[in-house]
Structure 1
C-alpha cells in the first residue's frame, strides 16, 4: 500500500517531480560484476551469458510454474535502486488459465534467507507484480497498475533510517509512490549491519512465461532515481554483501522409505539444522510449490483437476532432477525410492556428487501410527494396493563398496531402525502380503498406460484406482534375481477373463485360448505371466529375444511361493508331451493340482491347455491355453 507521504493519485500513479532523476555515476573498473546469481535461483530458471537476462522453462507443465532468481550482491544500508525490463512474453498453451494470468512478472526485494520462489509471500520479501498488486507476507494490495512486455520497472529501497525504511517503485519513468514502510533495524528484519547474505536485502525477480533483463548498474542502462544510487555502487560504499556461491563438495541425499514413514519430516529437520548447506529438497511438492498450488487443495482435493496437477508435477520433477545434476548445489530427493532400479536411474547423472541414502524405517506399529496421522492430515489414505506394490519391491540400499553392490551410495544411514532390524521387519511385512496378490489383477490395472507404469515409482501414490504394477514387466526385468531355466517355465494366467483392450491387441484371442503372432515365437524365448498384461502391449518383455525368465516369484507373487515347473521348452516337431506333477510343486498357489498336463506341439512349441485348480486365495486358477504358430 502507498504511504501517507506519497499518496497515489486517482490514476494510481504520481508524476515524478522535476529533477527526480539523479546524476549519472561513472562506473569503476575495479568493482566486481553485479549480475543474477546462478546459485540463488530456481532450477528451471536460465540465466543468459550476459548475466543479467533470464527466463524460465515454459513448455508443458512448466508453463504453470513461477520461477525466481536473486542478484549476487545484496545491501545492508544506504539508498539504492535497480531496474527490470520485461522483454517479451513466452508462447504457452494454457487453456485452463485466464489470459491475464499466463505471462507475469514480479519485481522486488528479499532477504537472502527467504525462499527464492516466494517473492512477496514471506515476512522478509516485498514485490510489485504485473497484475498491479503490491505484496508482502502473502497479502496483495492494489498498487501502481498492471505492467507487462515492454515495460521497465525501477525498484528503490531506502535503509538510511532503519526503523522507517521504505521500498518504492517507478514504471516507465513514472513514480508510483512508496509501496511500504518497514523496520529494517535489529528489532525488525535485521537488515542494517547484516554480516552475511542471510540478512542482507537482494534484488529479486519472480516470473512466469516472460523474458526479462535486469539493470543493476549504469552499464546496464539503469538511470537511478534522484537521491538513490545504482545498485552496484553499494560495493564501493561498503554496504554490499555477496550472495551464496557454488557449493564445495556437492552432496545429494536420497530419502528411502514407505509412504508416511517420516521422510519429509526428517528432510525438513535436517535442512533447518544445516542452513549453511542450503539444501534444495526435490520432489513433487517442489513442483506444486512452484505452481502455487494451495495447501488446502493438496490436502482435500483429489478430483480430476488435482490428478492433472500431479501428472504435471511428476514430469516437472523428472526435468528438475536432470538440471540439478548440472548445478553446484546440495540436494535432497524426497520420495519413496524403494525401487533399486529407480535409485540407480535418478542418481546416474550426479557423477561428481557425494551420495548418501537415508533410510527411514520405523517399526511396523510406529509406521502404522504415522501413516494414520498422515492420512488424517491429507484427508485421504494412500491406496493400499500402491503401498503393497512398493513393499513387495522394497530393497534396502547398499553402499557402492558392499559385496556385489550395483548402487552408487558413498554412505547409507539408517536413522530409525538399524539395518538388521529393518531387514527383519521388511521380510516379515513381505511375508504378510502372501494371499493378497490376486487382489491387484483387474481390467483397470491391465489398461494402465506405459507412462503410468513408469511414473509410479516417482509419484507419492496420490493417484486413485487399482494398482497391479508390482507385477509390471519393467520391475521383472530389473529384478536382481536370476531367471530359471527355460524348461521350468509355464504359461499361466489369472482366473479373470481377458480385458477388452487385451482382446483388441490380439485378434487371435478366443475366450480362454490364445494364438500368438509369429513375432512372439521365432527365435525368442517366451515368458508368460500371471495376467493378460504379459502379452497386452507391443513393448513388453515377452517379445525381447533370448529372455528366458519367469522370475522368482518373490518379485512377482507371494514370498516363498513356488511356480509350477512346466514350460515352453522346444520339443521335436509334432511330438506330444505328457507331463505329470503333484500338489507339492504348486505350493505357492495351494493344491490340489491337476495330475496331468497335455502339451501338443505346434512348430516346435508346446500348446498349453486349460487345467484348473483350487487356490488358497479363495478363487480358481487356470493355466493359459495357447498355441505358438508361425
Structure 2
C-alpha cells in the first residue's frame, strides 16, 4: 500500500504542472531491427511500453491512464538502453497517487508500483511474472517467474528505490536500496541468452523496467537525474559511456505499420494464432489488443483478477478499456493484432475506420 505523502500537490502531473503525455513526435512507426545506434541518453522507451502508459518530462516521468476501468489495469514500460554485462543501477521515485474510485478493491491494491529489470524479449506487462524478469513491489514482495517471496520493506509515495544488477559475477544477482538503505540481495540467477529468432540485439539484454497501477513515478538513470551513487555500481547511463549499452526497439513511420484483424467465431483459435504469430515475429513488436489482453492487465500480483470478484462488471470494464484503447492505438506507430470475433462487416468497418494509413490484413479462422 502506498503512503499519502507527495512532493507534488497536483496528482498525475509533472513538476511543471503539465499532465504526462506520450510524446508521439519522439516515437517512430514500424518496429525495425535496431542498428547499434546507441541512444545518447537513457529514458523510458515509447516503443517498448503498454498502449495506456504515458511518458513525459524528458522521458523520465512515467504514469498510465487511470480513469474508470483503467484503474484496475497494470501498465509497464522499459528503458531504451539495456546491458548484457557490467554492474549498473538506476532509481525510481514514487511521486504521487492518481485519484481513483475503487470501492470494490482493498486499499492496498489500489496504488501499486513494481521496479526491476527484464530481458528484452519479455512482455512489458509481465515484470516479475516471466522467467527472465525480476521485480520489487511496493507491498514488500520480490518476484520472478511468477514466484513471490517477502523481501525488504514496503514502499510508497515519496520513497526512492534503487535497483542494482550485477552481470559480472556468476551467478548474476539483483538487489535494491530504499531511500539509501540496502534491502539485501533479492536473488541470484543464471544469465541465459534469448533463443534469438530475428537476431535482434535487444532480445537478450536486460533493461530497467517499471510496472505501475495508479501512481506517478520519475526515473533516475544518471547523477544528473538525481540518482544517488551506489558503491560498486555505476549509474545506468554509464553503460553508454562504457560501450556496454545495447539499444531497445525503435519504430519508423505510422504508414509502415500494420493492423491484423482476427475474424472468427468464439473459441475458434484466434487468440492462440495471434499469440503464436506475435511470438514468432518479435521484430514487429505486435500488441495483441483484445479482451484477453485487458483481463491480463487487470490481474493482480498473484495472477488473480483484482476487480472485486464480479465477472460481469469485469467484462464490462474490459470492453470499455478496449473501446478507449482502439482509437488511441490508431494514432501511434505500433503493429497491432485485433483479437475479437469481428464477424460483422459493420463492426469491422467501424474498428478499421481510424487506421487509414495502416496496412490492413484479415486473418479468418
Conserved in 2, the CA contact under 8 Å of 1:247 and 1:330?
A: no
Q: State the shift of 1:295 in Å.
A: 11
Q: Please list, as runs of the form range in 1=range in 2, the aligned pairs for 1:372-451 lying within 5 A after superposition.
A: none
Residue 162 of structure 2 corresponds to which residue in structure 1?
Answer: 154
Residue 236 of structure 1 corresponds to which residue in structure 2?
Answer: 241
SS at match of 2:310: helix
For the pair 1:286 / 2:293, whether they are aligned, the reply is yes
For the pair 1:264 / 2:271, whether they are aligned, the reply is yes
For the pair 1:170 / 2:166, whether they are aligned, the reply is no
Q: State the shift of 1:322 in Å.
A: 1.6
For the pair 1:198 / 2:203, whether they are aligned, the reply is yes
SS at match of 1:259: coil
Q: State the shift of 1:260 in Å.
A: 2.2
1:387-429 deviation digits (Å, cap 9, x = unpaired): xxxxxxxxxxxxxxxxxxxxxxxxxxxxxxxxxxxxxxxxxxx
Name which of structure 1's ranges 163-172 and 247-256 shifts more when overlaid on structure 2: 247-256
Residue 339 of structure 2 corresponds to which residue in structure 1?
Answer: 334
Q: State the shift of 1:54 in Å.
A: 1.3
SS at match of 1:308: helix
Conserved in 2, the CA contact under 8 Å of 1:35 and 1:72?
A: yes
Name which of structure 1's ranges 255-264 and 225-234 shifts more when overlaid on structure 2: 255-264
Conserved in 2, the CA contact under 8 Å of 1:58 and 1:209?
A: yes
Aligned pair partner of 1:142 in 150, 153, 160? 150
For the pair 1:128 / 2:142, whether they are aligned, the reply is no
**Separation in structure 2 between the aligned mates of residue 96 and residue 272 of structure 1, nearest angstrom:** 35
Q: Please list, as runs of the form range in 1=range in 2, the aligned pairs for 1:67-146 lying within 5 A after superposition.
A: 67-146=75-154
TM, length-normalised to structure 1? 0.49
SS at match of 1:311: helix
SS at match of 2:92: strand
Conserved in 1, the CA contact under 8 Å of 2:91 and 2:219?
A: yes
Residue 380 of structure 1 corresponds to which residue in structure 2?
Answer: none
Q: State the shift of 1:273 in Å.
A: 2.5
Aligned pair partner of 1:59 in 59, 63, 67? 67
Conserved in 1, the CA contact under 8 Å of 2:221 and 2:236?
A: yes
**Separation in structure 2 between the aligned mates of residue 242 and residue 157 of structure 1, nearest angstrom:** 18
Q: Relative to structure 1, is the Cα distance of residues 295 and 266 closer, same or farther in structure 2, using a 3 angstrom cutoff?
A: farther
**Separation in structure 2 between the aligned mates of residue 284 and residue 292 of structure 1, nearest angstrom:** 13
**Separation in structure 1 between the aligned mates of residue 330 and residue 40 of structure 2, nearest angstrom:** 28
**Separation in structure 1 between the aligned mates of residue 301 and residue 258 of structure 2, nearest angstrom:** 30
1:530-582 deviation digits (Å, cap 9, x = unpaired): xxxxxxxxxxxxxxxxxxxxxxxxxxxxxxxxxxxxxxxxxxxxxxxxxxxxx
1:83-125 deviation digits (Å, cap 9, x = unpaired): 0000001111101111111111100000010010011111100
Q: State the shift of 1:297 in Å.
A: 7.5
**Separation in structure 2 between the aligned mates of residue 358 and residue 82 of structure 1, nearest angstrom:** 42
Conserved in 1, the CA contact under 8 Å of 2:153 and 2:183?
A: no
Residue 49 of structure 2 corresponds to which residue in structure 1?
Answer: 41
1:56-98 deviation digits (Å, cap 9, x = unpaired): 1111111111110000000110010000000001111101111
Residue 252 of structure 1 corresponds to which residue in structure 2?
Answer: 259
Q: State the shift of 1:261 in Å.
A: 2.2
Q: State the shift of 1:317 in Å.
A: 0.6
Q: Relative to structure 1, is the Cα distance of residues 297 and 97 closer, same or farther in structure 2, using a 3 angstrom cutoff?
A: closer
**Separation in structure 1 between the aligned mates of residue 300 and residue 213 of structure 2, nearest angstrom:** 14
Name which of structure 1's ranges 59-68 and 246-255 shifts more when overlaid on structure 2: 246-255
Residue 619 of structure 1 corresponds to which residue in structure 2?
Answer: none
Q: What stretches of structure 1 of length at least 5 have no aligned partner?
A: 1-29, 361-630
Structure with the higher fraction of residues in helix conformation? 1
Q: Please list, as runs of the form range in 1=range in 2, the aligned pairs for 1:558-577 lying within 5 A after superposition.
A: none
Moved runs in structure 1, 4+ residues, more than 6 A?
Answer: 293-298
**Separation in structure 2 between the aligned mates of residue 144 and residue 290 of structure 1, nearest angstrom:** 26
1:607-627 deviation digits (Å, cap 9, x = unpaired): xxxxxxxxxxxxxxxxxxxxx
Q: State the shift of 1:148 in Å.
A: 0.6
**Separation in structure 1 between the aligned mates of residue 310 and residue 361 of structure 2, nearest angstrom:** 36
RMSD, aligned α-carbons: 2.2
Residue 224 of structure 1 corresponds to which residue in structure 2?
Answer: 229
**Separation in structure 2 between the aligned mates of residue 151 and residue 114 of structure 1, nearest angstrom:** 27
Q: Relative to structure 1, is the Cα distance of residues 294 and 347 closer, same or farther in structure 2, using a 3 angstrom cutoff?
A: farther
Instruction: Give the greater-gyration-radius structure (CA).
Output: 1
**Separation in structure 1 between the aligned mates of residue 211 and residue 102 of structure 2, nearest angstrom:** 19
Structure with the higher fraction of residues in strand conformation? 2
Q: Relative to structure 1, is the Cα distance of residues 304 and 227 closer, same or farther in structure 2, using a 3 angstrom cutoff?
A: closer
**Separation in structure 2 between the aligned mates of residue 195 and residue 351 of structure 1, nearest angstrom:** 29
1:318-343 deviation digits (Å, cap 9, x = unpaired): 11112211211100001111111111
Q: Please list, as runs of the form range in 1=range in 2, the aligned pairs for 1:22-37 lying within 5 A after superposition.
A: 32-37=40-45
Q: Relative to structure 1, is the Cα distance of residues 49 and 349 closer, same or farther in structure 2, using a 3 angstrom cutoff?
A: farther
Conserved in 1, the CA contact under 8 Å of 2:39 and 2:80?
A: no
Residue 14 of structure 2 corresponds to which residue in structure 1?
Answer: none
TM, length-normalised to structure 2? 0.84
Conserved in 2, the CA contact under 8 Å of 1:82 and 1:224?
A: no
